[in-house]
């Protein structure tokens, strides 16, 4: 029988169906459930709902459970429904009635809300760290290969000269925007729902600002009804930000698959980073990039999955919300694996030099020749026509040294500006505030 049940237990089939995969997923929430409980009991003692002696016993026991979780020596007992029940059961087994008091002035509804917010906050930090690592690599590669030209395409047709410096730098700047949207999601996450109870508050004289400060949240979800309404919405906002990172990685991976193709042959990788064929001995397949592309395309579907699970739900808690964990929790592992594997591949990339010396890329320079005529005083439309006639007549000539100097072009990548923007975004997260608060809570 569950801690919260009265006399009759649910039918076994009903219990199995309603619990679902929660027990497995809740392992990911375990450390955060303990942190939320530590803050909650300190608040309970401050308003007279626990004695100081009870608080000391509970704090000591919760810290022991936290260390057990950190050692990966923790599991949910058979018959225990979720992480909340497991922690309370362990406290009650050890401390008796004091353990039973831990649930005063809260519901499993706001308990799982705070667990999820603490989990999301932690996972966002990991994602920012891994994204920044890939960003730094892209900037370094952009600088290293800035003089190496690359064909640029529109409609997958030869268009204008580009460079590997531009290519690497483009994806670096894309990650800046991705972390901008993730920072907005982080601000939504970093609000404290604890104290909203089942979604309608509590008659106990609780101090919600105290738990907000103890857990390092920036502020409260003030309205207790909205705190519950925020479940599903918060995950959807985070998923949308993760989808942006995934979109960048997916596009980068598609480029890499094309550029490795023998018909392009712009890049190559060491044999140990590609895979072979069971029957074709010459093959060097870009399996890593293909899997990154597929993982990331799936992540891009995540916001819609969450939206469909929560569409048309009225205010208040509904069991539908439980299923969101099955989608959002694994997504972080997937996106971080993809970030790290993209970094592994790009740190070992080999680019082909002097690509544009091949005569098949001659017409890439048609715009350069038009612009030269314009600089000499010819109207653009006349210059365009003159070069077009030369192309059609087969007597087009050009210089293979484009001189682009404006901001963000081949000759002026502005990587220093892009780096500054990225650093400014990362500073907005203020992860140090959270670290200090949690260290104090566990000290």
Residue 277 falls in the annotated catalytic set: yes
Which residues are CB-contacts of 384 (< 8 A; sequence separation ≥ 6)? 370
What's the pLDDT tens digit per position in 37-50? 999 999 999 999 99
Percent of the chain past pLDDT 90, that is, above it, reads 82
Task: Label residue 370 by pLDDT band (50, 70, 90).
Answer: very high
Element housing 244 (H / E) = helix 224-260
Structure tokens at 390: 């030369």
Whole-number pLDDT of residue 397: 87
Please state, rounded to an integer, the average pLDDT across all residues of the chain. Answer: 93
Query: Do residues 297 and 250 touch, judged by C-beta distance below 8 A?
Result: yes
Task: Label residue 401 by pLDDT band (50, 70, 90).
Answer: confident
- pLDDT of residue 194 exceeding 90: yes
Structure tokens at 173: 């700047």
CATH architecture of the domain with range 12-103: Orthogonal Bundle (1.10)
Task: Label residue 231 by pLDDT band (50, 70, 90).
Answer: very high
Task: Label residue 192 by pLDDT band (50, 70, 90).
Answer: very high
Structure tokens at 267: 């890049």
Whole-number pLDDT of residue 1: 43
Residue 103 falls in the annotated catalytic set: no
Query: Do residues 363 and 158 touch, judged by C-beta distance below 8 A?
Result: yes
Task: Label residue 233 by pLDDT band (50, 70, 90).
Answer: very high
Beta strands per DSSP E along 125-266: 149-154, 157-163, 191-192, 219-220
Task: Label residue 58 by pLDDT band (50, 70, 90).
Answer: very high
* CA atoms of 195 and 75, how far apart (whole Å): 27
Q: How many CB atoms lie within 10 A of CB 115?
A: 27
State the first-to-last Cα distance of the chain, in angstroms, to the nearest integer.
35
Helix, strand, or coil here: 193?
coil
Helix, strand, or coil here: 267?
strand
Percent of the chain past pLDDT 70, that is, above it, reads 96
Fold exhibited by the domain 111-148+163-357+414-442 = Fumarase C; Chain A, domain 2 (1.20.200)
* CA atoms of 85 and 63, how far apart (whole Å): 17
Whole-number pLDDT of residue 9: 60
Closest CA to 256 of 149, 354, 168, 335: 168
- pLDDT of residue 153 exceeding 50: yes
Q: How many CB atoms lie within 10 A of CB 79?
A: 10
User: Rounded to the nearest 10 degrees, how much is the dihedral formed by the CA atoms of 140, 143, 148, 151?
Assistant: 80
Structure tokens at 150: 């690359």
More confidently predicted of 402 and 411: 411
Query: Do residues 229 and 315 touch, judged by C-beta distance below 8 A?
Result: yes
Across 118-127, 151-160, 222-231, 393-402, least confident range: 393-402
Whole-number pLDDT of residue 281: 66
Q: How many CB atoms lie within 10 A of CB 162?
A: 19
Whole-number pLDDT of residue 10: 60
DSSP assignment letter at 409: B
Task: Label residue 232 by pLDDT band (50, 70, 90).
Answer: very high
Whole-number pLDDT of residue 3: 55
The string of DSSP letters for 123-139 reads: HHHHHHHHHHHHHHHHH
Task: Label residue 222 by pLDDT band (50, 70, 90).
Answer: very high
The active-site residue out of 60, 277, 294, 432 is: 277
Whole-number pLDDT of residue 79: 80
* CA atoms of 15 and 11, how far apart (whole Å): 6
* CA atoms of 286 and 273, how far apart (whole Å): 8
Burial class (CB in 10 A: 0-12, 13-18, 19+), 166: buried
Helices (H) and strands (E) in the chain — how many of each?
17, 6
The domain segmentation of the chain, as residue ranges, is 12-103, 111-148+163-357+414-442, 358-412
Which residues are CB-contacts of 318 (< 8 A; sequence separation ≥ 6)? none
Query: Do residues 68 and 83 touch, judged by C-beta distance below 8 A?
Result: no
If you average pLDDT over residues 393-414, what whole number do you get? 87
What's the pLDDT tens digit per position in 276-305? 766 776 778 899 999 999 999 999 999 999
- pLDDT of residue 356 exceeding 80: yes
Query: Do residues 109 and 197 touch, judged by C-beta distance below 8 A?
Result: yes
Whole-number pLDDT of residue 279: 75
* CA atoms of 71 and 76, how far apart (whole Å): 15
What's the pLDDT tens digit per position in 247-274? 999 999 999 999 999 999 999 999 999 8
Query: Do residues 181 and 241 touch, judged by C-beta distance below 8 A?
Result: yes
* CA atoms of 61 and 35, how far apart (whole Å): 12
Whole-number pLDDT of residue 7: 55
- pLDDT of residue 173 exceeding 80: yes
Q: Does the model's pTM come out above 0.75?
A: yes
What's the pLDDT tens digit per position in 80-137? 888 999 999 999 999 999 999 999 999 999 999 999 999 999 999 999 999 999 999 9
* CA atoms of 438 and 441, how far apart (whole Å): 5
* CA atoms of 319 and 325, how far apart (whole Å): 12
- C-alpha triplet 313, 315, 116: angle, nearest 5°: 85
């Amino acid at each position: 029988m569950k801690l919260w049940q009265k006399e009759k237990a649910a039918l076994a089939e009903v219990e199995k169906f309603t619990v679902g995969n929660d027990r497995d997923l809740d392992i990911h929430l375990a450390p955060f459930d303990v942190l939320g409980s530590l803050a909650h009991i300190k608040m309970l003692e401050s308003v007279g709902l626990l004695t100081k002696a009870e608080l000391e016993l509970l704090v000591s026991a919760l810290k022991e459970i936290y260390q057990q979780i950190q050692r990966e020596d923790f599991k949910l007992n058979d018959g225990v429904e979720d992480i909340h029940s497991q922690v309370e059961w362990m406290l009650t087994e050890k401390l008796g009635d004091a353990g039973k008091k831990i649930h005063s002035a809260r519901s499993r509804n706001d308990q799982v809300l705070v667990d999820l917010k603490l989990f999301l906050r932690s996972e966002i930090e990991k994602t920012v760290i891994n994204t920044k690592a890939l960003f730094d690599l892209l900037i370094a590669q952009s600088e290293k290969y800035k003089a190496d030209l690359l064909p640029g395409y529109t409609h997958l047709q030869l268009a204008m000269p580009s460079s590997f410096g531009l290519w690497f730098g483009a994806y670096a700047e894309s990650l800046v925007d991705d972390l901008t949207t993730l920072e907005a999601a982080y601000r939504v996450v970093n609000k404290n729902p604890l104290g909203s109870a089942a979604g309608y508050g509590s008659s106990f004289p609780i101090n919600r600002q105290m738990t907000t400060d103890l857990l390092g949240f920036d502020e409260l979800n003030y309205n207790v009804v909205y705190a519950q309404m925020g479940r599903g919405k918060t995950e959807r906002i985070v998923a949308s930000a993760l989808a942006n990172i995934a979109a960048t990685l997916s596009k980068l991976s598609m480029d890499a698959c094309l550029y490795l193709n023998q018909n392009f042959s712009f890049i190559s990788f060491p044999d140990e980073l590609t895979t072979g064929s069971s029957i074709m001995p010459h093959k060097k397949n870009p399996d890593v990039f293909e899997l990154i592309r597929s993982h990331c395309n799936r992540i891009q579907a995540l916001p819609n999955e969450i939206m469909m699970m929560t569409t048309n739900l009225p205010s208040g808690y509904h069991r539908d919300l439980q299923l969101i964990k099955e989608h959002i929790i694994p997504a972080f592992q997937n996106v971080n694996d993809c970030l790290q594997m993209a970094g592994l591949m790009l740190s070992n990339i080999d680019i082909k030099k002097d690509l544009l010396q091949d005569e098949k890329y001659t017409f890439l320079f048609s715009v350069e020749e038009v612009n030269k005529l314009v600089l000499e005083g010819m109207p653009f439309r006349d210059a365009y026509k003159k070069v077009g006639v030369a192309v059609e007549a087969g007597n087009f000539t050009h210089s293979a040294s484009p001189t682009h100097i404006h901001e963000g072009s081949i000759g002026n990548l502005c990587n220093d500006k892009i780096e500054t923007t990225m650093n400014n975004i990362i500073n907005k997260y203020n992860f140090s505030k959270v670290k200090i608060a949690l260290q104090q809570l566990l000290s």
